[in-house]
């Protein structure tokens, strides 16, 4: 079990209509910085909304999250969940993006009403669902119930 593994899940809204260049810039910055900070996760983009999950050592994670939060490319940063995990869900993803057509959760962010911070909702099954589909996309089958 890795020591001090922390995760954070948030959603936010792009300030301008999103184009591929903006998303590519964000992913490039993530690929540049996250390996050095030991961070992995995914960025899901749907219309003008972001859903990002980041996992890794607590200090660099919080530092990175503070930087992301101040980024002028998005607004309405809403922390959905945070906590500790025993193992990484995305050990191979410096910051992956899952093509929408491969997602079990099409319309996840468009259906905004339920996606709110709620201490009674365990976010890990949602993260696990993303991980399962991410791994399928990479050709690595893992059990849906794992």
Ligand X SMILES: Cc1cc2nc3c(=O)[nH]c(=O)nc-3n(C[C@H](O)[C@H](O)[C@H](O)COP(=O)(O)O)c2cc1C
Q: Is 132 left (phi over 0), alpha (psi -120 to 50) or beta?
A: alpha
Least separation in angstroms between CB 21 and ligand X: 13
Q: Does 40 bind ligand X (CB under 6 A)?
A: no
> Which of 8, 9, 11, 34 touches ligand X (CB under 6 A)?
34
Between CA 124 and CA 132, with CA 130 as vertex, the angle to 5 degrees is 100
Q: Does 74 bind ligand X (CB under 6 A)?
A: yes
* Closer to ligand X by Cβ: residue 46 or 103: 46
> Which of 6, 7, 42, 50 touches ligand X (CB under 6 A)?
50
Q: Can you tell me the distance from the alpha carbon of 143 to that of 132, in angstroms, rounded to the nearest whole number?
A: 7
Could you tell me which stretch among 29-37, 55-63, 103-111, 133-141 binds ligand X (CB under 6 A)? 29-37
Least Cα distance to 56 among 8, 127, 96 occurs for 8
């Amino acid at each position: 079990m890795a020591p001090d593994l922390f995760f954070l899940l948030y959603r936010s809204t792009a300030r301008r209509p999103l184009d591929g260049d903006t998303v590519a810039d964000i992913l490039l910055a993530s690929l540049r910085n996250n390996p050095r900070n030991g961070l992995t996760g995914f960025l899901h983009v749907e219309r003008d909304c972001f859903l990002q999950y980041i996992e890794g050592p607590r200090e660099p994670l919080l530092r990175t999250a503070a930087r992301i939060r101040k980024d002028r490319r998005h607004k309405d940063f809403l922390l959905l969940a945070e906590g500790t995990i025993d193992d990484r869900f995305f050990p191979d993803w410096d910051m992956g993006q899952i093509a929408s057509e491969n997602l079990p959760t099409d319309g996840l962010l468009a259906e905004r009403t339920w996606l709110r911070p709620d201490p009674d909702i365990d976010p890990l099954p949602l993260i696990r669902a993303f991980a399962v589909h991410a791994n399928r996309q990479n050709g690595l089958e893992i059990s849906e119930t794992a």
